[in-house]
Structure 1
């Protein structure tokens, strides 16, 4: 992997870490009452063994330990455990799905937010079946100017998600679209011959995964308890298809800004002093860019 890509991935990981810390900080409240395990079990009507299992599986955060055998749980544990019980008993959700709900809401899920997230479950199935039959890997290689090692790289990055059917990798509509876009980039001149490889997309995968997570959180926070399941799903489908032009314009503006700042800062297009942070344009007199 080129050094620039490694540096970019490190920057992405720092962004993820900072965003996670910021979101966790927003969720903290001072002066919460701390509970012993016996009190927590009594309030939630869940046995201590189950609570400890939820913690072990990552559905609940670790308690505050004051000694080897003494731990305290703040009051937020009560609502989280009650929500877990409700999702299990009323919606018949397995713990792995409940854990995903908590992950997508920074551990601060409400019942309304859980419902909103569950409304999105059909999106992946819909995307897989958008007017195309799945293609076997041999057909993908033949039709889309790719090869096995490249497909393996894209699978490793999570950019391709084929299903194994009867011992063969089958690529659905959205995977085929990605490979066609990669082929189009090569027609534009971003070819293997001058060094462009599919693995260069790793930086895009890292950045866009952060963006996707934040988009889902934003959608849930804005629509929970306000729209029906059908309305939430319809809005999400529109976002999947119709947000692309706006994202491309923002990307174009950011690239032009980086290039402009590089030229203004050094006169020769090299990275300005201060690294990636130095490419950020300072606000003008009115606070704009």
Structure 2
């Protein structure tokens, strides 16, 4: 069991944030052996890390995290393993949804155009459901000119090729690992943190070099 100051230290999280997580039901209530003396389960350290990871890398809301924790597949001892089977909750598939016709009307585009972007992989509805995320992406596509759309289409082509390799690496890594939960976190780090960093920094580097010419 941990005192609050120990939990703050080990989780590197402010006391106010921890209390907020408890209030929202994301962390279990502390044991209250004496007045003003609360003890927290040591599992809270790992759970806080996971909550912050979801907020930082998946931009998950408190309601989405609560829904994930309430899922029958969620295992507090192996949160990253649980995340694999419940990604739709965190990635917004449970939120406001839109039909194809509504989106086409809103952005004044023919259905064929939307279907083409879906076929290209520029928009990926989950189970044929368009969420607010797909609407945001569609807004960007509709603002893009022909040259920009050409670059965006290349993103999708490269992503498809990388996805095959990423899936193979993930499967092989999990088959050869006894610590699947930590291995999954490492793989999420590669996909969500390292990959965008490498891609974006190369673009920035090229842009800076071009300005120096």
Q: TM-score range by the shorter chain?
A: 0.3 to 0.5
**TM-score after normalising by structure 2:** 0.43
TM-score normalized with structure 1 length: 0.34
RCO higher in structure (CA 8 A, sep ≥6): 1
Q: Which has the greater radius of gyration?
A: 1
